[in-house]
Amino acid sequence: MKPASALGFLLAAGVAGLTFGSAAHAQQTVKIGSVLSVTGPASFLGEPEDKTLRMYVEKINAAGGINGKKVELIIYDDGGDANKARTFATRLIEDDKVVAMAGGSTTGTTMAMIPVFEEAQVPFISFGGAVEIIEPVRKYVFKTPHTDKMACEKIFENLKQRKLTNIAMISGTDGFGASMKAQCTKVAPNYDIKIITEESYGPRDSDMTGQLTKIKNTPGVQAIVNPGFGQGPAIVTRNYAQLGMTATPLYQSHGVASKSFIELAGASAEGIRLPAAALLVGDKLPDSDPQKKVVVDYKKTYEDTAKSPVSTFGGHAYDGLMILVEAMKRANSTDPKKVRDEIEKTKGFVGTGGIVNMTPTDHLGLDLSAFRMLEIKGGDWTLIKPGA
């Protein structure tokens, strides 16, 4: 980041504080907070989210702000630590006096922060993946990414189409991996899927050959599903190829929906399938697709500014910020309760993750049609045709 740029400045000690406008004009600004995992093991999530929020807040302010007020964006880096996330959430409420929060890179950090925003009655739009963030519904908590439950359903839908019903699961023990494993187990019977063996790995494990060998030696396994995010799924993919298991289809989750996964897994990623947002295949969508313009425009803006490949994770930040901004405009207010009410009324919002229609009982607002099934071919994402 360039010091003293229009985007603000970095504070020391791993805390990124970004201020638009001056203290003298504080009353004319809208304070929006964010706590992201910009560094640490989840930086592949937090870094594109951080860049996205910064570049789009700059655009919003250049266009006149929100209802004539400039946005003052305050970002803290939790390094993937849930305890730090909660501390920063408290700081945003008690010291910074934010009127809304868009952040939370992981399920773990999000769950640690939820009580802070619920108690303060300040709307919180999370970028975390697990369904437990919004089920049960909490009045002030929303999220933008597709849920782990939806990922299981989309994968099982594709498995059923391929007449593959007996599967093995190898899951990360992190918050997202454990939650998705539980959701897959819960919904598998709805698709006549049988989980005949299960293995797991820790976030610091560097080799999953032992677990995969057990799966390889289990009779009847027709496919493998890997709930997880970070470097774990890339290691699973490489070990899977090294063991000569490629005749058994391997499915990953939307937790690996960035080019960095393909780079980490290398040639071993060929043929891997996963559910993901339309953002990864924007240029391959038909012109009639309502998401095409949004995802193509975001991809160009991000890649031209950040000088790095787009990921769905930055897209979650874009969706969250824009949903929040539109809610503030409709409310014609920065009162947290009025903004919360308008977020919940979001209808027909076309984002990078899908078309969002929220209700009092659905604080995500996406259905399975928001997920696209992708396959990695030639080191790139390809769109799987329905029924394939």
C-alpha to C-alpha distance for 30 and 151, rounded to whole angstroms: 35
Q: In whole angstroms, what is the distance from residue 181 CA to residue 198 CA?
A: 9
Mean local confidence (pLDDT), 351-378: 96
Whether the Cβ atoms of residue 125 and residue 320 lie closer than 8 Å to each other: yes
Q: How far apart are CA 139 and CA 356, in angstroms?
A: 18
What sign does the dihedral 310-353-262-254 (CA atoms) show?
A: positive
CA-based angle 229:230:235, to the nearest 5? 95
Query: What share of the chain has pLDDT > 90, as a percent?
Result: 87
Q: What is the pLDDT of residues 194-222, one digit of tens each?
A: 999 999 999 889 999 999 999 999 999 99
Quote the tokens at residue 129. Answer: 């993946």
Structure tokens at 229: 């995010």
User: How confident is the model over 149-175, as pLDDT tens digits?
Assistant: 999 999 999 999 999 999 999 999 988
Strand, coil or helix: 92: helix
Q: Which residues pair with 171 in a beta bridge?
A: 200
Torsion angle of C-alpha atoms 314, 318, 321, 324, degrees rounded to 10: -130
Angle CA 81–84–87, to nearest 5: 155
Task: For 268-320, write each residue's pLDDT tens digit.
Answer: 999 999 999 999 999 999 999 999 999 999 999 999 999 999 999 999 999 99
Query: Mind listing the domains of the chain with CATH numbers?
Result: 28-145+289-356 (3.40.50.2300), 146-275+370-381 (3.40.50.2300)
